[in-house]
Structure 1
Amino acid sequence: MSDSEQIERMGRLFKAQKTAFEAERHRSYRDRLRDVDAIAALTKKHADAIKDAAAADFGVRSRCETQLTEIAYMATAAKHTRRHLWSWMQPEKVSVPGNLKPGKAYIRREPKGVAGIISPWNYPYQLAFSPILAALAAGCRVMLKPSEFTPSMSALMQTMLAEEFDETHVAVFPGGPEVGEAFTRIPFDHLLYTGSTHVGRLVAKAAAENLTPATLELGGKSPVIMADDFPADKAGETLAFGKFMNAGQTCIAPDYVLAPQGKARAVAESTIARVEKAYPDWATDEDYTAVVSDKHYERLNGMIEEARNGGAEILQARGGEPGNVRKIAPTIVLNPPEDSKLMQEEIFGPILPVLEHDGLEDAMKRVNAKDRPLALYVYSRSKQTARKVLEGTISGGAVVNNTMLHYSVEDLPFGGVGASGYGAYHGESGFETFTHARSVFEAPVWHPSRLIQPPYGKIFELVTKN
């Protein structure tokens, strides 16, 4: 289907979904539960096909990492949603001030309507199906625009969803930038975008034209601040996993490390040593993922060369030649220039700059001088030190003595702050994102509020007297 045909289909199905929502504004608990179970069942049924599609799109994509980060993640998320959906749907009672009694007040969580979701390429299944799950649990209809960089996964998701959902309920719209741009101009009842900060700004502008509420899950340079009391070898273990899983193509991957004076090399060498254990030959290892496209591959190699030419030391894991597969050796860059692209742009690849700080105050100052990151990681054996760093910095989320694990806690809202995005989802936060908190006050037929209505007199003075 051409982009123009896809855009025409998009407009037609948006109207159809709006009509379907108006006919069923309050989807029952039983029906929502069926939707959640359908997502779980589809994920389980098509697990092998999901792994195959990811591998086809990346060239090489670790089947184990796809199982962990896409399939198992969605199974856990669906199970969590199923367990808590009934309580999320219940009205929330709030207290009533004495001068408004008798009466009761509560908040109703009502579905917003038709939700638009724009998903990225780096975790193409999970980052599409996770917000779909939240929107369906909230009782919404859903339209999905997946990334053009992962066409195999896009086609698979469209086929999968068609097995369980009519297009007036859930519809998928593959296509290029023109389709994506048209998608952002649709007056959705809520729009969730996951991707780069640059495109996020464009999405926000388009949504603002329709006053569409939006959730932007962006990126940024997520730092690691290492205290002097933390062992370099322990840091290397978790940095190797967090940075080189999916070849660093993760929005919350550590983007640079600030190590204490004299410890940068030890951190770099321990990280490389751990990587070489994980991937004995990264060039041929099927568990070491390739870079998703030629464009990204060239950009990442250019970053390494720029840092090398700027005087930085480059450490890379040992390995053979990857042939015609877009693989880049796990790379540590010691002390890259501050004005290099490695330090100015989100890396989104298997390259980790390691620099040194002159104490925690210096490290926090350097982090705070940049845009607010999506995640921040602090390594310290001291709880007081870790809290000091958390209190002295701002980030979307944070982990102490590890990386990325906060993402897997469904009860934690996931989202950014400032340039790394706004709004949140996961678990109940996702349910809240796609619902409207409707305030309700119920008064009896006769209510004392009549005493403060005109004509004002002695009773009014008595009732309103402080």
Structure 2
Amino acid sequence: MDTPAMLALLERQKAAHLRDGAPSAETRIARIERCIALLIDNRKAIEEALNADFGSRSREATAFTDVAGSIGPLKHARDNLRRWMRPEKRKTTPALLGLFGAKAEIRYQPKGVAGVISPWNFPVNLTFAPLAGILAAGNRAMIKPSEYTPATSELLKTMFASAFSEEEIAVVTGGPEVGQAFAGLPFDHLIFTGGASIARHVMRAAAENLVPLTLELGGKSPVIVSKTADLDVAAARIMNGKTLNAGQICLAPDYVLAPRDKMDGFVEAARRSVAQMFPTIKDNPDYTAIIAQRHYDRIQDYVADARAKGAKVIELKPEGEDLSQQEHRKIAPTLILEPTDDMKVMQEEIFGPVLPVKSYVSVDDAIGYVNGRDRPLGLYYFGDDPAEKEKVLNATTSGGVTVNDVIFHVAQEELPFGGIGPAGMGSYHGRDGFLEFSHRKSVFTQIKKDIGPLKQLRPPFGPAIRKYLDSQMKA
């Protein structure tokens, strides 16, 4: 679709929004329920499309992350939006006005039309999860899915067209040039999920029309393993997070900081956990392939660079299994021990099943290492020391935190999900998503009677207003 056609589609949605006004709770619920039905009815087709796009992707992982992981947020929004929609009363200033009947409140108004640019790693979930907040807030939506997952993008287009008119939800497919034009449309709000390098272009394009943005990016999310951590539990949970979708997750643990005397123990625990999850990798349908050759080559280059610069590289795969000749682009879980900062793997988000593991002497050293880098989307702490945990939480800044596991804070609908700094801006999920995609309109209703204090605010000014002003000029 070219730019004029996309702009015409957007204008039709905006006109429909003005024509119909803010939708009732019943209409919003009906739209959300249609989304839930689409996911339930198309589960198998979604699994097949994503398996085709990746070359090999676990059907169970797809059902868990993209299907069930989308139904949860939609149900949460459906069941709570009536409460979220209620006007919120606020106190008047000065309080005296409230005693005489003045009112202050916030009303939650749909912004209008939201644009959604969804990524390739979880193309269904990262379309429907934002839609939960967008539809709960009463908006319409235009969606641009990734060109890296063409089968899934076409399926999304067909799915939405079967249940929604283009005035409600429309899907626009195409390559980077379509995405660039889409980002430049005058939406009432735009949410982009993806890499920071593309986000800069999206932000520039949106700035031309002063479109408010939600950016969900990523970065190098660290794991701090305490000396008090249970290494078997920590390693199993870390490696599960690192191998889910082959590490192609914005919240995947990007590097581990482990106590120096626990390094060998962590490596062996990681080896055991991977062997238990994946007794084979090459032809294992539970193990996901890398999305494209470009990303496969990029990840392999990280490993080669680290090896060339002196890091110890450990592939966690069955003895003798050769992944160099294979139908798909699978990379075994790989540990890079004691990486240095000049290695590419420590400079860029990995987005693959490669995990650097770096030792520290004191937790202060670990905190300093984290704080010496860009603020991450997620941070993970494993340990059983409450004081140390609080120290890590208070001394570091990240989009969110999971304690004694990885990634799980994103699944909490009562917690906002979002980044900070290079990891993104804005947040959604649950009520925070409703607020993100709503205009919070302040409404003040003045008292009807023109009492003395109000008259004092108008000329001619006299002793009464001067006395009031003097009373306000005190600490």
Matched, 1:450 2:455: yes
Gaps of 5+ in 1: none
CA contact (8 A) 2:377 2:419 kept: yes
| Distance in 2 between residues matched to 1:334 and 1:156, nearest whole Å | 42
Residue by residue, what CA displacement relative to the aligned partner does 1:28-85 show, whole Å, maximum 9, x if unpaired? 1110010111111111110111111110100001011111111111111111111111
Residue by residue, what CA displacement relative to the aligned partner does 1:319-346 show, whole Å, maximum 9, x if unpaired? 3345121100111111122111110000
**Where do 1:29-428 residues align within 5 Å?**
29-96=25-92, 97-101=94-98, 102=100, 103-319=102-318, 320-322=321-323, 323-428=326-431
1:464 Cα shift?
A: 4.3
Partner amino acid, structure 2, of 1:283 = K
CA contact (8 A) 1:121 1:150 kept: yes
| Distance in 1 between residues matched to 2:16 and 2:450, nearest whole Å | 39
| Distance in 1 between residues matched to 2:217 and 2:288, nearest whole Å | 22
1:461 Cα shift?
A: 3.4
CA contact (8 A) 1:225 1:377 kept: yes
1:8 Cα shift?
A: 3.3
CA contact (8 A) 2:247 2:353 kept: yes
1:362 Cα shift?
A: 0.7
1:98 Cα shift?
A: 2.1
| Distance in 2 between residues matched to 1:430 and 1:53, nearest whole Å | 28
Partner amino acid, structure 2, of 1:24 = D
| Distance in 2 between residues matched to 1:300 and 1:409, nearest whole Å | 30
CA contact (8 A) 1:6 1:175 kept: no
CA contact (8 A) 2:97 2:447 kept: no
Partner amino acid, structure 2, of 1:277 = Q
| Distance in 2 between residues matched to 1:364 and 1:163, nearest whole Å | 51
CA contact (8 A) 2:224 2:382 kept: yes
Return 339-348 or 378-387, whichever deviates more. Answer: 378-387
CA contact (8 A) 1:105 1:441 kept: yes
| Distance in 2 between residues matched to 1:345 and 1:17, nearest whole Å | 39
1:271 Cα shift?
A: 1.1
| Distance in 1 between residues matched to 2:25 and 2:56, nearest whole Å | 41
1:6 Cα shift?
A: 3.7
Residue by residue, what CA displacement relative to the aligned partner does 1:405-430 show, whole Å, maximum 9, x if unpaired? 10110010000001000100111111
Return 442-451 or 125-134, whichever deviates more. Answer: 442-451
Aligned to 2:433: 430
Classify the secondary structure of the residue corresponding to 2:380.
Answer: strand
Q: Percent identity?
A: 44
CA contact (8 A) 1:6 1:173 kept: no
| Distance in 1 between residues matched to 2:444 and 2:455, nearest whole Å | 16
| Distance in 1 between residues matched to 2:404 and 2:80, nearest whole Å | 30
Partner amino acid, structure 2, of 1:92 = E
| Distance in 1 between residues matched to 2:367 and 2:450, nearest whole Å | 56
Partner amino acid, structure 2, of 1:332 = L
TM-score by length of 2: 0.95
CA contact (8 A) 2:278 2:287 kept: yes
| Distance in 2 between residues matched to 1:341 and 1:265, nearest whole Å | 24
Aligned to 1:27: 23
Matched, 1:459 2:458: no
1:22 Cα shift?
A: 1.0
CA contact (8 A) 1:414 1:426 kept: yes
Classify the secondary structure of the residue corresponding to 2:427.
Answer: coil
CA contact (8 A) 2:220 2:376 kept: yes
Gaps of 5+ in 2: none
1:454 Cα shift?
A: 1.2
1:462 Cα shift?
A: 4.7
| Distance in 1 between residues matched to 2:464 and 2:337, nearest whole Å | 77
Return 215-224 or 456-465, whichever deviates more. Answer: 456-465
CA contact (8 A) 2:25 2:82 kept: yes
| Distance in 2 between residues matched to 1:462 and 1:307, nearest whole Å | 74
Classify the secondary structure of the residue corresponding to 2:367.
Answer: helix
Residue by residue, what CA displacement relative to the aligned partner does 1:352-395 show, whole Å, maximum 9, x if unpaired? 00010121111111101100000000111012111110101000
1:163 Cα shift?
A: 1.2
CA contact (8 A) 1:265 1:334 kept: no
| Distance in 2 between residues matched to 1:215 and 1:265, nearest whole Å | 41
CA contact (8 A) 2:190 2:212 kept: yes
1:228 Cα shift?
A: 1.3
| Distance in 2 between residues matched to 1:392 and 1:98, nearest whole Å | 39
| Distance in 2 between residues matched to 1:99 and 1:91, nearest whole Å | 22
Classify the secondary structure of the residue corresponding to 2:417.
Answer: coil
Return 209-218 or 91-100, whichever deviates more. Answer: 91-100
TM-score by length of 1: 0.97
Partner amino acid, structure 2, of 1:342 = V
How many residues are matched? 462
